[in-house]
Amino acid sequence: MSSSPIKLGIVGVGKIVRDQHLPALAKDHDYRLVAAASRHGKVEDTPNFPTIEAMLDAVPELEAVSLCMPPQFRYDAARTALAAKKHVFLEKPPGATVSEVEDLKALAAANGVCLFASWHSRYAPAVEAARAFLSSTTIRSAAINWKEDVRRWHPNQEWIWAPGGFGVFDPGINALSIATHVLPPMFISSAELDFPENRAAPIAAHIAFRTSNGLPVTMELDWRQTGPQSWDILADTEAGSMVLSGGGSKLAIDGRVVHEEPEAEYPMLYKRFAEIVRAGTSDVDLAPLQHVADAFMLGKRNVVEAFFD
Ligand code: NAP
């Protein structure tokens, strides 16, 4: 593919499109945003269509699409785009099930186009430094604490509480996208999921992982945290105690900050997408999604107090 800007369409115009995709694309010369498709949302100064099918029909020069609707509704749109030979950027989580994303991988390969399962937290500024530190030492144990206020971050998002919306695993999968990049391969040994009595998705989860060499890793997810929010991964190692905080933005070893810089997660995601489109490859790591599936498969279900917005 040439180095001329990739003609991109965006689908599912909501919070993350306005907060991150549009600002990142506005500064990125690798892309030209040529269309948007959404039932209600609109992108200014761009042709808007009510469905992805209408957009693909009307704008045949489109080369790639970013699919930003909730995960339960992403598969059909992705199939439609891949069958039309468009490169596809999937917001996280890449789908509502592991096997549907496997199917999309095969479809992308069969159609000679690229599929990108984006994991924005993996591109947080201190993640690579944490990975380098952890791979240079021996880890004794690790803990993931991801606790935030659902009322503040997900107001009126009914899909997030519906089956396939993942509940507290919607942010929790961001932690897992970092953990699976910086820690050794691990698997869940036990899990408890707390479901509000009036909701179909968990509000909290308590998970124990272990690595194949027996290293314990715990994960605490909670959506009821008011006040300061916690998006931290801690590790006890032979080279000191590591804290990767702020969702991957700050790294400290034995209390001393060794890496901190402003985040640029979405510009980095689009850089990576352009790279794979130009190289003609796909980038679909399903490890974070598999852990979420395993937690639902293995987890004991506790019923807790009803939750109201
Ligand atoms: P959102 O605003 O609730 O949804 C995005 C858009 O998807 C909606 O505005 C809606 O647009 C469309 N949509 C909703 N239900 C749909 C349905 N049944 N069928 C087709 N389209 C539907 O959610 P969001 O916060 O942007 O999150 C979208 C995705 O981005 C999620 O997977 C989330 O995990 C991920 N994400 C979110 C954040 C964040 O901070 N919010 C951060 C990173 C990643 P129309 O009504 O116009 O069709």
Average pLDDT taken over every residue of the chain: 97
The string of pLDDT tens digits covering residues 258-304 is: 999 999 999 999 999 999 999 999 999 999 999 999 999 999 999 99
> What fold is seen in the domain 6-117?
Rossmann fold (3.40.50)
Average pLDDT for residues 227-245, to the nearest whole number?
A: 98
d(CA 160, ligand 1 centre) in Å: 9
d(CA 159, ligand 1 centre) in Å: 8
- Buried (b) or exposed (e) across 110-119, using 16+ Cβ within 10 A? ebebbbbbbb
Average pLDDT for residues 242-247, to the nearest whole number?
A: 98
d(CA 3, ligand 1 centre) in Å: 30
User: According to the model, what pLDDT value does residue 212 have?
Assistant: 87
Which CATH number is correct for 121-263+293-304, 3.30.360.10, 3.40.50.2300, 3.20.20.100, 3.40.630.30? Answer: 3.30.360.10
Which protein residues are within 6 Å of ligand 1, measured from CB?
A: 12-16, 38-41, 68-71, 73, 91-92, 120, 157, 159, 170
* CA distance to 34, 124, 147, per residue, from 228 (Å): 40, 19, 9
d(CA 15, ligand 1 centre) in Å: 6
The string of pLDDT tens digits covering residues 132-158 is: 999 999 999 999 999 999 999 999 999
Contact yes or no for 121/248 (Cβ under 8 A): yes
pLDDT band at 2 (very low <50, low <70, confident <90, very high): low
The string of pLDDT tens digits covering residues 153-209 is: 999 999 999 999 999 999 999 999 999 999 999 999 999 999 999 999 999 999 999
**How far, in Å, CA of 245 to CA of 239, rounded?**
18
| Res 1 pLDDT > 60 | no
Ligand 1 atom 17: residue of nearest CA: 73
Atom of ligand 1 nearest to the CA of 156: 3
Atom of ligand 1 nearest to the CA of 73: 19
User: According to the model, what pLDDT value does residue 3 have?
Assistant: 79
Burial class (CB in 10 A: 0-12, 13-18, 19+), 228: exposed
Whole-structure pTM over 0.95, yes or no? yes
Contact yes or no for 289/101 (Cβ under 8 A): yes
Catalytic residues: 92
| Domains in the chain: boundaries | 6-117, 121-263+293-304
The string of pLDDT tens digits covering residues 79-129 is: 999 999 999 999 999 999 999 999 999 999 999 999 999 999 999 999 999
**How far, in Å, CA of 154 to CA of 151, rounded?**
6
Ligand 1 atom 25: residue of nearest CA: 15
**How far, in Å, CA of 139 to CA of 277, rounded?**
36
